[in-house]
A and B are shown apart, each in its own frame.
Chain A
Amino acid sequence: MVTLKTQIIGTWTLLKKELLRFWRVVFQTVAAPVITGILYLLIFSHVLDSRLEVYEGVAYTAFLIPGLIMMSLLQNAFSNSSSSLIQSKVMGNIVFLLLTPLSYLQLFFAFLMASIARGLFVGICIYLISIIYIDLPIEHPWILLLFALLGGGLMGAFGIIAGVWCDRFDQMAAFGNFVIMPLSMLSGVFYSIHSLPPIWQKISQLNPFFYMIDGFRFGFFGKSDVSPYFSLVIVVLFFIALSFITIRMLKSGFKLRN
């Protein structure tokens, strides 16, 4: 009755539904973050391009683009799983999922993949618009892709945790405003951490967003604030830790099956 085939179909169905869900509101889920990213790019590059060179031989605008792509990717990966879960919980239609034979691993995998897909889609859109205006090298495409996938996955898992944990929209908004936004803004999107005072450099190095963005930027320029391999280890460890917590939460039915 429960076979590998039924499990694959079940997981694929949930993934397809999650993809369609964000596609149905594409102006909100894709166009809006792309426009926000482009506005950041226009304003900061206009003001700082001629005054600032973070890496030797790399224009500030070029430096900025990978950070903006990764920031948008991370924020949207988080938004996808968290908003889907909180909406389903508040609307009550989460029962349609909970009554099915989908296992906690299937739920985890489908929500995670949909988050990565949305994050990548937003990131690719910003990249494609950016390269109309500026030449952007890609020195290490596989490292770039690896950080994009791991970052999307990490934030997708974090989004599931937030979606399961929050009971109301205002709690979710607080999560976004007081956790995601500061972590992403203070992660070196707009600057190199070497330009910060030593104490702030140390504090920045506690922020996992910094490693995701720094490693992703290395994929473009072959230059980064810290070793990309060190960043990779940190990101993988965070991904494993958050995935472990998410799977434990889904398995126990925390705030879902009670």
Chain B
Amino acid sequence: MKPAIVYQNVKKHYGSVKAVNGITLSIPEGEFFGLLGPNGAGKSTMINMLGGLSNPSSGKISVMGQDVQKNYQEARHLVGIVPQELVFDPFFNVREMLRFQAGYFGKGRENDKWVDEVIDRLDLRDKAATNMRMLSGGMKRRALIAQALVHRPPVIVLDEPTAGVDVELRQKLWSFIKELNKEGHTIVLTTHYLEEAEALCNSVAMLRAGKIVVLDTTKNLLKKFSTKNLMLRLNFRAEKKLPKIIERFSYTELDGAFIFELKKITDIAEITEALKKSKVEIIDMQTVDTDLESVFLKLTGNKK
């Protein structure tokens, strides 16, 4: 399959800070791709360079074969980017903004029908004549997504599209983005919600400190790191150390719980016995399968 987006040894340095440090990545057409990583990993910098909001220090980026610097006009026609921040123009209403945005891409009145369709599909019909200032956060987010779609780009990039969005709207946005992908759009998603990436993305790249730590299909990644885990909630103060015997087990801490990686099922008995001997009370216990979150924690260095 032809690549939709290609990064070739791309670097972006701000003085001594290496925001993106030699990334090479190819995202095939029609892919639903997740870009994951902690804050400052370089996700937004990668997207900004793709959209021409900043220029790479070195390396090349192309969209559907068009170099984003040399053929920037062609490249920008091919990509629609939903920015992370809830930005808007306070002078205009939703429909006006969408028509202006389409116009910048050379779309005239013939595109108005598509603008209305985007408005409908994002449930913005009732707010189409409302000034952007007067919209709620969720509505502004929808309008931002609509703005990225008005010129019908084959590649859509969503930078944290569901940040600060309630569960209902998040579900609606997920299904809308899935539909777009089914229609043939290549989707690139950055998100902090790992369950979002797990539910939506065919493949993911995990970033840390401007570098790709892992790049694989979501399925492979989960399979590769598939382990049984034991999640324990302990009556245990942080300043105390876990019993020495337990430290040989690999574990991560998440929301006050300890998640131990089990090599064999008898490890459960060994761990619980050791805790009992050390007089650490177990408040809750359950076994859990690997999810993207635990893979992410392992790969981005939060593992103990």
A110: nearest residue on chain B (CB-CB)?
Answer: B104
Chain A window 80-93, contacts with chain B (Cβ cutoff 8 Å), 1 for yes, 0 for no = 00000000100111
Highest count of chain A CB atoms <10 Å: which of B74, B100, B147: B100
A93 in contact with B88 (CB, 8 Å): yes
Known contacts A10-B104, A93-B87; is-contact A99 B74 (Cβ 8 Å)? no
A101 in contact with B87 (CB, 8 Å): no
A101 in contact with B55 (CB, 8 Å): no
> Does A42 lie at the interface of the complex (its beta carbon under 8 Å from any beta carbon of B)?
no
A95 in contact with B87 (CB, 8 Å): yes
CB distance from B137 to the nearest CB of A (A): 15
Known contacts A93-B89, A99-B52, A101-B73; is-contact A9 B147 (Cβ 8 Å)? no
> Does B65 lie at the interface of the complex (its beta carbon under 8 Å from any beta carbon of A)?
no
B77 in contact with A101 (CB, 8 Å): yes
B53 in contact with A99 (CB, 8 Å): yes
A101 in contact with B74 (CB, 8 Å): yes
- Select B103's contact among A13, A21, A253, A257, beta carbons within 8 Å: A13
CB distance from B76 to the nearest CB of A (A): 4
Q: Which residues in B have their C-beta under 8 angstroms from that of A97?
A: 104
* Chain A interface residue bracket vs B: 20 to 34
Q: List 28 A-B contacts (CB under 8 A).
A: A1-B74, A1-B77, A2-B74, A2-B106, A3-B106, A6-B106, A9-B108, A10-B103, A10-B105, A12-B103, A14-B100, A14-B104, A25-B91, A88-B89, A91-B87, A91-B90, A95-B53, A95-B83, A96-B97, A98-B53, A99-B51, A99-B76, A100-B76, A100-B101, A101-B105, A101-B106, A257-B52, A258-B55
Known contacts A17-B100, A95-B53; is-contact A10 B83 (Cβ 8 Å)? no
> Does A51 lie at the interface of the complex (its beta carbon under 8 Å from any beta carbon of B)?
no
CB distance from A56 to the nearest CB of B (A): 49
The 3 closest A-B pairs by CB, nearest first: A6-B106, A13-B103, A92-B87
* Chain B interface residue bracket vs A: 20 to 34
- Select B106's contact among A9, A25, A88, A93, beta carbons within 8 Å: A9
A6 in contact with B89 (CB, 8 Å): no
Chain B window 47-67, contacts with chain A (Cβ cutoff 8 Å), 1 for yes, 0 for no = 000011111000000000000
Q: Which residues in A have some Cβ–Cβ distance to B below 8 Å?
A: 1-3, 5-7, 9-10, 12-14, 16-17, 20-21, 24-25, 88, 91-93, 95-103, 253, 257-258
> Does B127 lie at the interface of the complex (its beta carbon under 8 Å from any beta carbon of A)?
no
Docked Cα-Cα span, A246 to B116, in Å, equals 37
4 extra interface residue pairs, beta carbon distance < 8 Å, beyond A2-B77, A10-B106, A14-B104: A1-B74, A9-B107, A99-B52, A100-B105
Identify which of residues 60-100 in chain B touch chain A, using a CB-to-CB cut-off of 8 Å: 72-74, 76-77, 81, 83, 85, 87-92, 96-97, 100
Known contacts A3-B106, A20-B91, A92-B87; is-contact A99 B77 (Cβ 8 Å)? no
B103: nearest residue on chain A (CB-CB)?
Answer: A13
Docked Cα-Cα span, A225 to B97, in Å, equals 48
Docked Cα-Cα span, A7 to B104, in Å, equals 8
Docked Cα-Cα span, A88 to B101, in Å, equals 14
